[in-house]
């Protein structure tokens, strides 16, 4: 049994399979062709933080695969009343076939997985957001072909998204130019791939403009992630120069793409003319969450089917 708790849980070969499978599943969806490999299977979705895309993409995706879903939040389950995570894992995984969790510390999802009878998927933790990077790389491939050897510029917080990009770079052979304000750097230990911290797959820039030079993809995220709201005012000051604007896009490659996992704050981490401009692929990126996660759920429950 496999879990998907961090990007480095899968090999490059498994990712090649998933990207191909997601393309096929997307094609079927677009042509209204039924694809029901998960009939009678149930996905439990546990949300301890808010969500729009993750909820809709997993829920719609599971129904489209022929299965069904159960939706739990901290507020409407015993999870919010201090039932031990281990007990919750044992119970939920006896009644369902697959579990997706969005929570705070990575250790929480690891404890759940350790006591689960069924595969567990990380739907975002403070440390990682692997389903999002799966969608982002799939979107890059759709628009530009293989990401191997390419340069991704990460502008902003050294957060769950940044950590996951760095794991992906080491695994799939591309480079990340990271620019964060001082004090908000990525945690190198968390961000390292299966072979440990690799200096070759990322480079730090104190100036975000320098990080964007020659990039094939410029990407950013909110200045304040969920769970860090108390730091909002301090972060607004610290991140003021880490706003992706036309000047940054102009020094990237002429055909560079712009991505943002969303939700976005126009005028903070990105200017409206960039996210709503011709280089932005954020709507494809959001939609692709569903297609890659359908491939992921099928893979975790049935293995390779092609």
What ranges in the chain are assigned the alpha helix state H? 12-30, 53-64, 85-95, 106-114, 130-144, 160-172, 188-191, 208-212, 232-238, 246-251, 272-275, 282-302
CA distance 166 to 92: 32
CA 118, distance to chain mean position in Å, is 21
Active-site residue, selected from the candidate residues 97, 136, 157, 221: 221
Closest by alpha carbon to 123, among 115, 134, 114, 139? 134
Consecutive H or E run containing 121: strand 120-122
For the record, the structure tokens of 2 come out as 């496999």
Closest by alpha carbon to 136, among 181, 167, 98? 167
CB of 124 to ligand NVA, least distance (A): 6
- Kindly identify the residues of this chain, within the stretch 264-293, that bind ligand NVA according to CB under 6 A: none
Task: For residue 126, give the 3-state DSSP assignment.
Answer: coil
Pairing of β 120-122 and β 202-204: unpaired
CA angle 100, 101, 103 (to 5 degrees): 165
CA distance 292 to 58: 10
Exactly one of 262, 265, 284, 287 binds ligand CP (CB under 6 A); that residue is 262
Q: Which does 52 bind (CB under 5 to 8 A by kind): ligand NVA, ligand CP, none?
A: ligand CP
Q: What is the contact mask toward ligand CP in residues 131 to 150, using x (rule: CB under 6 A)?
A: -x------------------
- Respond yes or no: is residue 132 known to be catalytic: yes
Active-site residue, selected from the candidate residues 102, 177, 260, 291: 102
Q: What is the contact mask toward ligand CP in residues 19 to 58, using x (rule: CB under 6 A)?
A: --------------------------------xxxx----
Q: Which does 221 bind (CB under 5 to 8 A by kind): ligand NVA, ligand CP, none?
A: ligand NVA
Q: What is the contact mask toward ligand NVA in residues 244 to 263, using x (rule: CB under 6 A)?
A: -----------------x--
- Respond yes or no: is residue 203 known to be catalytic: no
CA distance 157 to 18: 28
CA distance 182 to 229: 19
Using CB under 6 A, count the residues that bind ligand CP: 8
- Respond yes or no: is residue 129 known to be catalytic: yes
The window from 114-122, 198-206, 218-226, 265-273 that contacts ligand NVA (CB under 6 A) reads: 218-226
Q: Which does 238 bind (CB under 5 to 8 A by kind): ligand CP, ligand NVA, none?
A: none
Answer yes or no whether residue 169 interacts with ligand NVA by CB under 6 A. Answer: no
* Closer Cβ to ligand CP, 138 or 201, answer by number: 138
CA distance 181 to 277: 26
- Respond yes or no: is residue 221 known to be catalytic: yes
Q: Which does 195 bind (CB under 5 to 8 A by kind): ligand NVA, ligand CP, none?
A: none
Give residues in contact with ligand NVA (CB under 6 A). Answer: 124, 159-161, 221-222, 225-226, 261
Which active-site residues does the annotation give?
102, 129, 132, 221, 261, 289
């Amino acid at each position: 049994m496999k879990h998907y708790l961090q990007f480095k849980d899968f090999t490059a070969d498994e990712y090649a399979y998933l990207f191909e499978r997601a393309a096929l599943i997307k094609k079927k969806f677009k042509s209204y062709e039924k694809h029901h490999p998960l009939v009678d299977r149930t996905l439990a979705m546990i949300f301890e933080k808010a969500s729009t895309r993750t909820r809709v993409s997993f829920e719609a995706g599971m129904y489209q695969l022929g299965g069904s879903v159960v939706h739990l939040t901290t507020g409407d389950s015993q999870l919010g009343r201090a039932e031990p995570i281990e007990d919750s894992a044992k119970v939920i995984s006896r009644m369902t076939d697959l579990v997706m969790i969005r929570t705070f510390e990575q250790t929480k999802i690891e404890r759940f997985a350790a006591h689960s009878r069924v595969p567990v998927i990380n739907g975002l933790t403070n440390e990682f957001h692997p389903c999002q990077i799966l969608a982002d790389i799939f979107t890059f491939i759709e628009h530009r072909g293989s990401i191997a050897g390419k340069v991704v510029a990460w502008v902003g917080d050294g957060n769950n998204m940044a950590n996951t990009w760095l794991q992906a770079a080491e695994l799939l052979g591309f480079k990340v130019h990271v620019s964060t304000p001082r004090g908000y750097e990525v945690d190198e230990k968390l961000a390292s791939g299966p072979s440990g911290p690799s200096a070759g797959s990322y480079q730090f820039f104190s100036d975000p403009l320098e990080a964007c030079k020659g990039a094939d993809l410029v990407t950013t995220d909110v200045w304040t992630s969920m769970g860090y709201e108390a730091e909002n005012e301090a972060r607004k000051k610290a991140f003021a120069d880490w706003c992706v604007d036309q000047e940054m896009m102009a020094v990237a490659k002429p055909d560079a793409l712009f991505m943002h996992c969303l939700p976005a704050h126009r005028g903070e981490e990105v200017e409206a003319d960039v996210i709503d401009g011709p280089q932005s692929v954020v709507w494809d990126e959001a939609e692709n969450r569903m297609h890659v996660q359908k491939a992921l759920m099928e893979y975790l429950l049935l293995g390779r089917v092609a």
